[in-house]
Structure 1
Amino acid sequence: MRKTFRIKKPTEFQIVFNKHRSVANKYFIIYQLDKPEQKHFRLGISVSKKIGKAHDRVWVKRRIRQSMLELKPQIPQEIDVLVIARPAVAKQSQKFIKEQMIHVLKLAHILKVEN
């Protein structure tokens, strides 16, 4: 995922936290902020130290980023999304993480549901 699709600055994270709609399941918390002037969605990922050591946290971030990249065509382009991983997601497979991302994105009404 290109850097233009990422939320990196703490001030940008704070804006989404302050003006957000949030949804959660056992594995992820999703914060979303609508930005109609935006040409593509942006993603911010937060993985706490409760997940594990640095290599475990990076592993989880990569899996989340890959899942979002695969779901990109189904995500509206005018939003900022923050994904916060909960400790239960540690040591889970890529397939499981993607399934849980789909679940929580559908709860947040971000993912377009196929009929």
Structure 2
Amino acid sequence: MHRKLRLRKREDFNTVYRYGKSFANSQFVVYWRKRGQKGSFRMGVSASSKLGNAVVRNRLRRMVKEIVRLNASKLLEDTDLILIVRKPALNMAYKEMEGSILHVLRKAGLLKGTKPNFTGRNPSSVQGRRPDKRNDK
């Protein structure tokens, strides 16, 4: 994955976590936020130390980045996204992992031609955060 397409700074990650939206399946969680600047999407991958040692975590990160790189043309531009790897992803083959990542991105509405799937619930409850009271004037 190109250097320009990566989220690298802690500040960028925190902004996406704080102001972004999220969706999940049993293997992955995706947080995303629209950016004001024009350009391609930027992505970061998070794998907790609970998943295994550094070798295991880095292998998972490399696989996720490669899957996203190969499907980059399907992703919406002008977004920052973070993919968090969950423990069930450890036992997945590459093709299963690809299907699971595309599923969570489709569910979030991050693939071109898709809309977020809120499944009848209140979208603010799906985001996993409270609305910002400071902007209500």
What are the equivalent positions in structure 2 for 1:13-52 lying under 5 Å apart? Answer: 13-52=13-52
Q: Please report how far the alpha carbon of residue 36 of structure 1 lies from its aligned counterpart in structure 2 after TM superposition.
A: 3.6
Determine the C-alpha separation between the residues in 2 that align with 1:74 and 1:20: 20
- Counterpart residue number, 1:12: 12
Higher relative contact order (CA 8 A, sep 6+): 1
What secondary structure is seen at the aligned counterpart in 1 of 2:105?
A: helix
Preserved CA contact (<8 Å) 1:51 1:89: no
Determine the C-alpha separation between the residues in 2 that align with 1:38 and 1:44: 18
What are the equivalent positions in structure 2 for 1:34-113 lying under 5 Å apart? Answer: 34-113=34-113
Instruction: Find the structure with the greater CA-based Rg.
Output: 2
TM-score (norm 2): 0.79
Unaligned runs of 5+ in 2: 115-137
Cα deviations by residue, 1:15-74 (Å, 9 ceiling, x for unpaired): 000101100000000001001413110001100011111110011001100110111001
TM-score (norm 1): 0.94
Determine the C-alpha separation between the residues in 1 that align with 2:51 and 2:65: 16
Percentage of matched positions with identical amino acids:
26
Unaligned runs of 5+ in 1: none
Preserved CA contact (<8 Å) 1:52 1:90: no
Determine the C-alpha separation between the residues in 1 that align with 2:98 and 2:76: 18
- Which portions of structure 1, spanning 4 or more consecutive aligned residues, are displaced by more than 4 angstroms? none
What secondary structure is seen at the aligned counterpart in 2 of 1:22?
A: strand
